[in-house]
Structure 1
């Protein structure tokens, strides 16, 4: 059996099996720095150039946080991305890791009627992937229960500096009482830094 290096060695056994299946044996420098810090449970800004392994880190640490198993009906992980196509691509990436687990990953497709999304989410999911707009609308219509969230991530958050999505982010985070927040971006922008005054209190920074 292949012996995985740190920090992969301390991940959930089912995640390690998938890494071996995909022949991902060597963590990137960013993953070496970020995975242990994310596993600590702190709020974190993760900044690194493109192709540093940020999205894979997001997937691995989210699955590890949820212990690769379904629990209850309310989502325990929320992942926000810049647009609908990116959400679909991330859903597909997650599914490669979760199809042999009981975890329920859900794509909040903005092309679907919001009432359909509400009813499907109500049946029970563990991970919701969507745009800030869809998540905010679900919350407003009482279609998103945030009481069980353990980890809230924003992938490639640089888009928040170019769109009006920050207002949606603020609305969503104000409904969350206790959760880990992880923001991934290529650079630290003033827009992202301002979140420290709201939901990113005492945030650590992992930069490459």
Structure 2
């Protein structure tokens, strides 16, 4: 058994664990980031979802921790490496990867997320932890309860830092940074580099090495993108038609709101399709169960909001549908990045009504390209996209419950999406 990961300097137990899962050739972000992390310097990494960025930091961190385990501090509740992520689903994905690559090592990992009881977590924290994966809100709960010791953290990772800032976690992050030791290695991963991310990086990183494997806000070449014009009140009918007519068996559908996700999943289920919704109001148990059944093929359609879908990692997911275009164009990139992962082909289909002209235009401006609006026979919209944009008297009224809602998005330091 051999692996190109060995040439990057990773220890045999780590690359062997990867090889057993069929991972033998590093992705571009892994080729660039792994040697940097192993060298001990700070890292600023730009990588889109689906590029293998989790392994890019998990594998070298495990290598470093295993090499120094005998001399490291192992006091009660102490943590050696801390990975901060924006959502529970992403936390589960990252911790799963840590367990995968570290299965041949004597290292202990733990996940701290909201939505579950805190006391069992406190029990597990009585022992030392090598790699702790946490969402900011729940980690702060443990800091306040003094059930976790972060004074010996050797490595800090901020994963999907752009999303954490979007969700209003900047104050939480600063509070966590305040209790960490000054001397540590810092790794920041982000899909985009906004001025806010640059400011955060400048205050966090010490002479970092910068690596970037994709242009800002780029979409993967392995994802085909289609935009289907349809009246708002016929979207559910068209979605059902597409799934049935084209025999899609695993479809991730995005809606803007939690209520919209619930309504759509109920409609699909009543039509005979196995469908479940996943969003922030669902219990953690329900979210985990829905995702597991979707991965196993027991659920045909998973309807998700943007927040809940972060961390859904299915290498061979064939179809993503934008039931509604997002208000923030960068979210379009994140959404369709759920398919076409790890070199596999995927298809992203967006159902676009005439009142979503602005959202479509914003996506086109972001990606610096224009998209052809297709129509499906029998579902032609009553109003053309080429007609005047301000013609409300010709617009077909939206169906009950399908009206446009204001974006539920926090851009400041609030905690609207705080993941406790």
Could you tell me how far 1:22 is from its partner in structure 2? 2.0
Change (3 A) 1:6 1:97: closer
Are 1:182 and 2:182 an aligned pair?
no
Are 1:30 and 2:35 an aligned pair?
no
Residue 138 of structure 1 is matched in structure 2 by: 142
Residue 20 of structure 1 is matched in structure 2 by: 19
Residue 93 of structure 1 is matched in structure 2 by: 97
| TM-score w.r.t. length of structure 1 | 0.89
Residue 193 of structure 1 is matched in structure 2 by: 198
Could you tell me how far 1:96 is from its partner in structure 2? 1.8
Could you tell me how far 1:141 is from its partner in structure 2? 2.3
Matching of residues 60-75 of structure 1 within 5 Å: 60-67=59-66, 72-73=74-75, 74-75=78-79
Are 1:113 and 2:117 an aligned pair?
yes
Please give the secondary structure, in 2, of the residue aligned with 1:126: strand
Please give the secondary structure, in 2, of the residue aligned with 1:158: helix
Could you tell me how far 1:101 is from its partner in structure 2? 2.1
Change (3 A) 1:7 1:169: farther
Unaligned runs of 5+ in 1: none
Are 1:204 and 2:209 an aligned pair?
yes
> 2-side partners of 1:7 and 1:51: how far apart?
22
Unaligned runs of 5+ in 2: 214-420
Could you tell me how far 1:85 is from its partner in structure 2? 2.0
> 1-side partners of 2:123 and 2:137: how far apart?
18
> 2-side partners of 1:176 and 1:100: how far apart?
29
Structure 1 window deviating more from structure 2 (30-39 vs 60-69): it is: 60-69
Please say if residues 160 and 191 of structure 1, whose CA atoms lie closer than 8 Å, have aligned partners that are also in contact: no
| TM-score w.r.t. length of structure 2 | 0.46
Residue 154 of structure 1 is matched in structure 2 by: 158
Deviation sequence 1:76-114 (CA, Å, 0-9, x none): 011111111221222222222223322111011312333
Aligned residues: 207
> 2-side partners of 1:31 and 1:166: how far apart?
27
Structure 1 window deviating more from structure 2 (70-79 vs 49-58): it is: 70-79
> 1-side partners of 2:204 and 2:102: how far apart?
29
Please give the secondary structure, in 1, of the residue aligned with 2:25: coil
Residue 122 of structure 1 is matched in structure 2 by: 126
Please say if residues 159 and 188 of structure 2, whose CA atoms lie closer than 8 Å, have aligned partners that are also in contact: yes
> 1-side partners of 2:93 and 2:4: how far apart?
28
Larger Rg: 2
Could you tell me how far 1:8 is from its partner in structure 2? 4.4
> 2-side partners of 1:207 and 1:77: how far apart?
23
Please give the secondary structure, in 2, of the residue aligned with 1:67: helix
How big is the alpha-carbon RMSD for the aligned residues of Structure 1 and Structure 2? 2.1
Deviation sequence 1:176-197 (CA, Å, 0-9, x none): 1221110111121222211244
Q: Which has the higher contact order (CA 8 A, sep 6+)?
A: 1
> 1-side partners of 2:47 and 2:156: how far apart?
19
Residue 340 of structure 2 is matched in structure 1 by: none
